[in-house]
Amino acid sequence: MHWIPVGASLFASNIGSGHFVGLSGSGAASGIGNAAFELNAMFILILLGYVFVPVYMASGVYTMPEYLRLRFGGQRIRVYLSVLALLLYVFTKISADLFSGAIFIQQAMGLEGDAGIYISILILLAIAALFTITGGLTAVIWTDFVQTIIMLIGSFILMGMAFNEVGGYNQLVHKFFKAYPNETAYDLNNKSCANIPDDAMHLFKNIHSTELPWTGVVFGVTISSIWYWCSDQVIVQRTLAAKTMTHAKGGCIMASFLKILPLFIIIFPGMASRVLYTDTVACADPVACEKICGSQAGCTNIAYAELVINLLPQGLTGLMLAVMLAALMSSLTSIFNSSSTIFTMDIWTRIRKNPSDIELLVVGRLFVLVLVAVSILWIPVIQASQGGQLFVYIQNITSYLAPPVCAVYLLAFFIPRTTEQGAFWGLMVGLIVGLIRFGLEFGYVIPPCGSGLPDPRPEIIKKIVGNVHYLHFGCILFLISLVTAVLVSLITEPIDEKYLYRLTFWTRHSTKVRLELQDGEKSDSTTKLATTAIDADSSVTASDSATDAQSINDSQNVPLPAWRRAVNCLCGVETQKADQMPSTPKAVIDPQEEAILASEFIKEDPKWYKFVNTNAIIVMSVSAFMWAWYA
């Protein structure tokens, strides 16, 4: 792929309906603080293009678990990452996507209260199921590209109308600090629930800030960002689709430039929404909030939906809602496909040896139903947590689960002495500590501000959770995992250099033949092929299943009954002609020639090398200016 669609797809994969809901809601609640995650990503995207992608390309991998398997050998790290991915899918992707999409539908259709949220979720699931069962909605790069263009055009128009409505940038800042709902005018307790911090226009806040302390912004956000941008499969695979190393870097630089936009097209409009619709967006009374948006914790999450529905002309309103819901559908079906693939190929095949293709399909579909059910049950927790701020909730979960993965990837790239045992136990210890904090954070439902109900948490939990900010905890968790991995690596046998060529940053240009670590288990080649097939489409996977089903029908020469065809359709099992799915034999390449080609692939044309580097310096300078301006 060319650098333009790569960059656009990186941006589109990150910015979706959840971002518009969550980030604008955080802007409405507390100002520009969460723009730190966007501006920090400008630097991390450069790190992705210049440090991580060259190693991934030189190593010849297609997935992140595949990289760790080559780097360390064994299968248990791969299984761990699969389990972690499923946890993150449930708690940060499926539940958050369902919640954000439901908010748009709820506001557009005028549905009230908790019932409105769940009716909206059922509508979303019905449409997503229809797409999935009738053939799948494939989230391809060009689809991302087109949706990004339409979304950006609509959001720029909305930003201009919002600024115009509040009287411009200066008036927005002035009015924002006075945007308290009428219900708080006579109730000081409720006014504190709708409180606007004095440093709402600053990126660097006091170290004791309950929102975003500057130490957490500098270190904690960076740790989470490295995990997300440099080791998450959804993001990294976009850069691996680039035709050359220069195009991969160019795509990262383009995405880095685009990351300036969320502050202006999402956060500032969210602040404007609070100014324009103060009594609804900034409501502080739990009873009133539940009636407005179905959440007693607050209604800042409806900030962007309020602007879309009330400010835009009717045609453009429909277009923006359609694009956001289309992006949501694309995201949901992609997650459904990915989660079923991960569970069936990485986990179920460990439980059941040699399962049939049809069994894998049925198990995958049933597992998606389980994931959706758990996600729906988790939505009340999202509504009640972090003052109802979706974006802050997502960052919380990330800080509890992602730092160990970040630590292991950095060690894998830069410290050749890191062993499989060190990496595994670093991940395990980090997971246990992270889950403990996760349980303490979400094990108790804290009454919404203004309700007058006592906090049910024991004093020790209040001190542990209340005094350690989630970004600071992310830093602590990163150090615990890092130290554990290093210590265990030092007391275990090192990996021989012959297994590490082009798998570390220091050996990315090596032309030596790399040997593959043997782990005593069968090769992953068949698993990779099956996984690729399942990822390719949500309704039909491997050609073997289609051929088997067809051969059974042909041998019996009996048509399937209607009920069986309906079940097959629901489970994604369809009969196709074997000759419709030809297989092309893979060319055999000499190992030495393959090593030379891999090392040469990441070399760049000197002219374009300088051009790309100049643009990287420019985008980092722009980011530094933004940080300084709003420091």
Q: Give the per-residue pLDDT at 132.
A: 56
pLDDT of residue 567: 64
CA separation for the pair 398, 221 (Å, rounded): 10
Q: What is the pLDDT of residues 140-186, one digit of tens each?
A: 455 666 666 777 888 899 999 999 999 999 999 999 998 888 865 44
Q: Which two tokens stand for residue 84?
A: 């972690």
The mean-pLDDT minimum among 373-377, 485-489, 624-628 falls in 373-377
pLDDT in tens, 57-92: 888 887 787 888 889 988 888 888 888 888 888 888
Question: Looking at residues 613-628, what average pLDDT do you find?
Answer: 94
Higher pLDDT, 406 or 529: 406
Write the pLDDT tens digit of every residue in 493-532. 999 998 999 899 998 888 888 888 866 443 343 333 333 3
SS3 284: coil
Distances (CA, A) of 37 to 34, 40, 164, 365, 622: 6, 5, 27, 35, 15
Q: Angle, to 10 degrees, between the axis of helix 221-231 and the axis of helix 35-47?
A: 50
Phi, psi angle pair for 422, to nearest 5°:
-65, -45
Region(s) of the chain under CATH 1.20.1730.10: 3-507+597-629
CA distance 569 to 549: 13
Whole-number Å distance between alpha carbons of 574 and 578: 12
Local confidence band at 442 (pLDDT 50, 70, 90 cut-offs): confident
Q: What are phi and psi of 493, to 5 degrees?
A: -65, 130
Q: CA of 197: how far to CAs of 39, 150, 163, 200, in Å?
A: 21, 34, 21, 5
Most confident of 59-68, 465-474, 620-629: 620-629
Question: Coil, helix or strand for 344?
Answer: helix
Distance of CA 236 to the CA centre of its chain: 12
Average pLDDT over residues 361-365: 81
Flag the least confident range among 118-132, 184-198, 284-298, 617-631.
Answer: 184-198
Tell me the β-bridge partners of 189. none
Task: Measure the CA–CA gap between 147 and 157, rounded to whole angstroms.
Answer: 15
Residue-wise pLDDT tens digits, 121-149:
777 777 766 665 554 434 445 566 666 67
Q: What is the DSSP letter of 522?
A: -
pLDDT value for 386: 54
pTM of this structure: 0.82
Q: How confident is the model at residue 605 (pLDDT cuts 50, 70, 90)?
A: confident
- Specify the residue for token string 């991390």: 44
What percent of the chain has a predicted confidence (pLDDT) above 70? 81
Looking at the predicted structure, is the pLDDT value of residue 575 above 70? no
According to DSSP, residue 468 is labeled S
Mean pLDDT, range 416-429, rounded to an integer: 94
- The pLDDT of residue 534 is 37
| Domain 3-507+597-629: homologous superfamily in CATH | Sodium/glucose cotransporter (1.20.1730.10)
| Predicted pLDDT at 495 | 93
Of 117-131, 341-355, 583-597, the least confident? 583-597
Residue 339 has a pLDDT of: 78
Q: Which residues contact 211 (CB under 8 A, 6 or more apart)?
A: 30, 33, 197, 205
**Contact at 8 Å (CB) between 84 and 405?**
yes
The neighbour count for residue 569, using CB atoms within 10 Å, is 13
Q: How far apart are the C-alpha atoms of 452 and 392, rounded to whole Å?
A: 24
d(C-alpha 419, C-alpha 416), whole Å: 8
